[in-house]
Structures are given as C-alpha cells and as structure tokens.
Structure 1
Amino acid sequence: AHIAGGELDVRDEDIAALTAALPYNDCLGVNTYKCQFLRAAEGENDINHNGTGDKGSSRWFLKGVGESCVREGIPTTDWDWIIYPEGLYDLLLRIKNDYPNYKKIYITENGMGYKDDFEDGFIDDAPRIDYMRQHLAWILKAIDGGVNVDGYFVWSLQDQFSWTNGYNKRYGLFYIDFETQKRYPKASAYWFKNVSETGLLMA
C-alpha cells in the first residue's frame, strides 16, 4: 500500500502481491471484536471515543467517508461496540472466496469488554458467555461452509490494562483484583473450559 497526502492508496499490484504471498504463509490470523456499519453523511469531522463505558457517548463521523451507525435490533456493549458475529462469518467466507490459496485461519483474538461485578469472589459475566457462544457458532457455520479455521483464542485469559480504557474495561476469563493481585475465575472461565473439553456450545 502507498500513502500519499495522508491517504492510504491500495493499488491492484498491492492486492496481487498479497495474493501471491498467501501460498507461502503457514496461516492467517484474524483479530476480531466488532464490526462497523457506515452510512453516507455530510458535515464536519466529529469523533468521540467512548473510553469510559458511558453507553451512547461514542461518535464517529469522518468528513468524506461517512458516519458510524447501529442497525436496529443489533445490541451494543457499554463501549458502543456492536455485537454482530455474523460479520465474522462474512469475513471468513470472503477470505475463502477471494483468496483461495490461503492455508488455514486462526481467530487469534476475540472477546468482549465488560463491567464485571465482583460479588464475594463470584463473577457472573453471562453477556460475555453469550458473546463467545455466538461468535463460535458463526465460526462453526463458516467451517461448515468450507472455511479452514484451525483455532480460536479468547482475548483474554485475565483482566489487564487497556491503552484507551485503563482498567475499567475487563476482557479476561479471570478477574483480577488489581490491589491484591488475586485472581478469580469468572463464570465464562468455567463455560469456556467446558466448551474446550467437550466441543459443545452449551448454555
């Protein structure tokens, strides 16, 4: 790709070079958390990053590009990230169809930031479980459609610092008390352990 005047210019020869390189790559890694819907819009730049979990405070309007929007009926996280696992399915099928020389795909990061409530050492993060279950179900559908997905990695094993959200946005299967450094398995940790052992996307 070429950068000219601050704009990224992807040319036909760039795509050709990437396509030619695919047979020489052992695998392709896909990091995925959310999709983005855009609509045409007129006006000046207006961007506000929701880094606090104040739902509904995010704005993304880029002049000459469009405005981020949410389709009716599609849920969002407290950080205004849409939960649309079908988008991952669409991406996987597109890779299979547009780049047939790929070898295998790993979902190298997938997870949900959430405000986990800590109550006497128990963390019921049912929305995270539902998020992972939906994404895994669509990955299985892609596999049934002929996509070679060879692995899935949850982001992340434990809560950690986020560059734009500090410590208030938790992704881990294990809760960390940052003052004491004690770790506590969340409900999602037990759920994912079961899925890993049985291969069943149980409730």
Structure 2
Amino acid sequence: MGLPEGFRWGVATAAYQIEGAVGEDGRGPSTWDTFSHTPGRVRDGHTGDVACDHYHRWPEDVALMAGLGVDSYRFSIAWPRVQPAGSGPVNGKGLDFYDRLVDGLLAAGIAPAATLYHWDLPQPLEDAGGWMERDTAYRFAEFSYLAAERLADRVDMWITLNEPVVVTAYGYAFGVYAPGRTLMLDALPTAHHQLLAHGLAVHALRGRNARTIGLTNHYSPAWAASPDDQPAADAFDGFMNRLFTDPVLLGRYPDLMDDAPFVRSEDLAVIATPIDFLGVNYYQPTRLATPSEGPLPFDMVDITEHPTTGMGWPIVPEAFLSLLRTLDSRYDLPPLYITENGCSFPDEIGPDGVADDSSRIDFLDAHIKAMRTAIDEGIDIRGYYTWSLLDNFEWSEGYHPRFGLVHVDYETQKRTPKKSYAWYRDLIASSRTQTEPR
C-alpha cells in the first residue's frame, strides 16, 4: 500500500449496537431503548437489550482486534451509562466499564478512539425536548467533561458526535430512527444544537487535556438525475454534506439556515472552534430529482447501474474518491480519518465453519484503493476504520443486516471470524512493510 508512516488501521462499533446490558450497573434508558421497545419501530421487534453482549464479552472482542493487528479501535461511550439522567451525578460503575475497556485495549497495543455521542441520548433529556432544546448542548458538554476527566489520560483520540445529520434527518425529521419524531423541516434546530454541543464539547475536552479532538460526519455525493435536477442535488448536498461541515470549518452556515431564530450571534464562533481532524463516514452516493410534491426540495431516486450491498446500497468506490476530492477542494481541511466504511451482506457460516464474504472483501479492497489514490494526490488521510468489527444491531433493521468482519450467532453469542477478517489482517500486516515517511 505504501501508506504514510503512522497511518492507523482500525475497526469501529457503537455502544447501543453491541453492548447490551441495558439495565445493568446503573445504566439509564436511552431514546433507542424506548424506540426499539415501541411496537412497529424496529424490524421484527428486535432491541439492543442484549445485542452482542459486549459489556460482558469485551475481553474476547479485544482479543479479536489484537488478532487483526489493528492500530486503533473506535468505540462509543454510552451517555446513559455514565449519566443515567443526562445530567447530574456520574454513575461510577458506568465509567468503570470504559476504564476496563481502555486499559484492555492499551494492554493489547490498540489505541482507543472514543466517540462521545453515537445516537443514544438519555431518555430524560428527550422527555425535556431532546436536541430541539438548546439546553441539551450544555448537558452534552458536561458529559464530555466527565468522560474526559476519567479517560483523557489514556484515550488519545476523541470524536464528539457521530453523523449528526442522521439524528436530524432520521430521528427528528422523518421519524425512522429514535426518537421517532416527524418534524420535517421543523427539525432544523436539532442540527444547530448538535453543532453547538460539538463546539462546547471541544472546549470541555481541551479543559481536561484531551488530545486529538474531531467530529465525524456522514457524507454522500449528490448526483442529479438529469441536468434539470441539479438544483435538487445542490439542495441535498447543502443538507447532507455542508450543513454539518461549513459551520465547523468555515464558520458559517449554508443558505438553508439563513436568519434561523435559534442561531445566536456568538454560536458560530463556538462551533468553529479548531479541531484536530475530521472524521469521514462513507457508504454510498445518492441520486436526486426535483420533487413533484412535498415539503422537501429533492426526491431520492434509485441508482440501478451499479451492484448493491445486502441493504440495497449502490457500490461505487469512485464516488468515495470523488467525495474526498470534493472535501479537499471545498475546505482547508484538517487531517482526515475514514471513521466508517463498510457493507452489509447476508453472511452465513458455511460447511467449513467460515462465512465466505468475498463480496465484502471486494468492497473494502476497492474503497481502500480509492482512498490510496486520494492519499497519492496529496489529501492528508491518517487512518481507516472499517465498519464493523462485529455483526450487530443495525438500528431500525434490527439484527438482519450483517456488517461485521466477525460473524455473531445471536443465540449463543459465538464469534466466528469471516474470510474478510483474515483478508483485513493480512492487508494490515503487508502495509506495515511498505510505509512511507510522511
């Protein structure tokens, strides 16, 4: 691969998707607990109550990472495990779990990369208005400080928010994710309050001497269905790709937030507090057309000329390269980390006791090569985290999609590395013999 010296190979997970133990050691309910236990919200009534039982089986999972040879593990800290009410006293047993995990990772030679918010808002905060309320941003800053107070001496990489655009769109606008509200364009305050939370958290983390702080955004290149549909593609691009990046890196919002009454004059300076890196999550491009009706300025149109994953998502590695080039041309970028990239397929254990997920290998190989091209072109990319280490609870789809390098039998919790696990292990090992000085 000839990657720069110090390049980090990693894997990523999220607390609600793998931990389970939702009622143990003082953890409070999150919006996802409430949502998944509401009939009709999650496919087949699946919940994260047990998930991959990572809360109890984390040593086995760290051993799997050590077997891969990864440099780093991106995990999330469950806010309701640390502050069950979303404010007030710390739940010491909750922080103790992350203490054990971080120490276990370091003992295995794996650098912890902690995400502070991966969508599991404490339910009491949602009951008070959730991300529609400005106060939630201040509560998040407090939580960030408490987490760093315990862990900043050993965690060298911090991510404030994961994919805030998904929380705004799926959680508050369309209602397909927790908390399940259908506010449509009236959900825009949740975008601003998450960004404010990010900026406040950066200050809180710096106050506890946290190293290497960034934000992870979800990006999807916007393709116009026809030349006449370019305004629809531009509108989608403004929402999906710029709304959560322009304020952080440029200190201003794109047009759709002009004159928003919930944006105070001092907020953008807080949001634009310098960060050390930008996390990029990429899965697929999106094709847009002019809507015939409805409140949104775009309609999503299927992309049919490319192969698809088990989720029906088009596989377009060249769109990944295009995205990286666009980000590089649009902003004076800090270093980038690819904090999520992966795919779901209906992997099954074969007669030989292994899941042959050659399609995942092809996906990862093509996207890593696209990333390598971007690096060769001078884009400063410092690491790549595949999604995910384990098959896990995939939000509203429950346990049906499988994104892991490791197969999980949810009845027995048996972990079985797939063929992609061995492929990724060998890729990492071979890349270490070909690093280039930065």
TM-score with structure 1 setting the length: 0.77
Of the candidates 353, 356, 362, which is equivalent to residue 130 of structure 1?
Answer: 362
What amino acid maps onto 2:277 in structure 1?
A: C
**What whole-Å deviation, never above 9, does each CA across 1:6-43 have from its counterpart, x for those lacking one?**
2759799x93663257782110001111111123353x
Confirm or deny: 8 A CA contact 1:39 1:68 kept in the other structure.
Answer: yes
The one-letter code matched in structure 2 to 1:186 is K
Tell me the percent identity.
35
Aligned to 2:343: 112
Distance 1:144 1:22, change over 3 A: farther
| CA displacement 1:70-98 (0-9 Å, x = unmatched) | 152x1112322111111111111111111
Match of 1:69 among 292, 298, 302: 302
Give the whole-Å Cα distance in 2 for the aligned partners of 1:93 and 1:23: 24
Q: Aligned-pair distance for 1:69?
A: 2.4
Amino acid at match of 1:134: A
CA contact (8 A) 2:248 2:273 kept: no
Look up the match of 2:322: 90
Kept after mapping to 2: 8 A contact 1:115/1:169:
yes
- Give the residue type in structure 2 aligned to 1:90: S
1:169 aligned residue (394, 401, 408): 401
Determine whether 1:27 maps to 2:277: yes
Aligned alpha-carbon RMSD (Å):
2.9
C-alpha contact (below 8 Å) 2:309/2:345 kept by paired residues:
yes
Distance of aligned partners of 1:6 and 1:154 in 2 relative to their CA distance in 1, 3 Å threshold:
same
Pick one of 373, 388, 391 that aligns with 1:159: 391
User: What is the aligned length?
Assistant: 178
| Structure that is richer in strand per residue | 1
Structure 1: gaps of 5 or more residues? 46-61
SS in 2 for 1:31: strand
Q: Does 1:99 align with 2:305?
A: no
* TM-score of the aligned structures, taking structure 2 as reference length: 0.37
Q: For the structure 1 residues 22 and 198, does the alpha-carbon distance in structure 2 shift closer, same or farther, using more than 3 Å as the test? A: farther
1:175 match: secondary structure? strand
Query: How far off its partner does 1:198 sit?
Result: 0.6
Q: Give the structure 2 partner of residue 40 of structure 1.
A: 290
More helix by percentage: 2
Q: Which structure has the larger Rg over C-alpha atoms?
A: 2
**Cα deviation, residue 166, structure 1:** 1.0
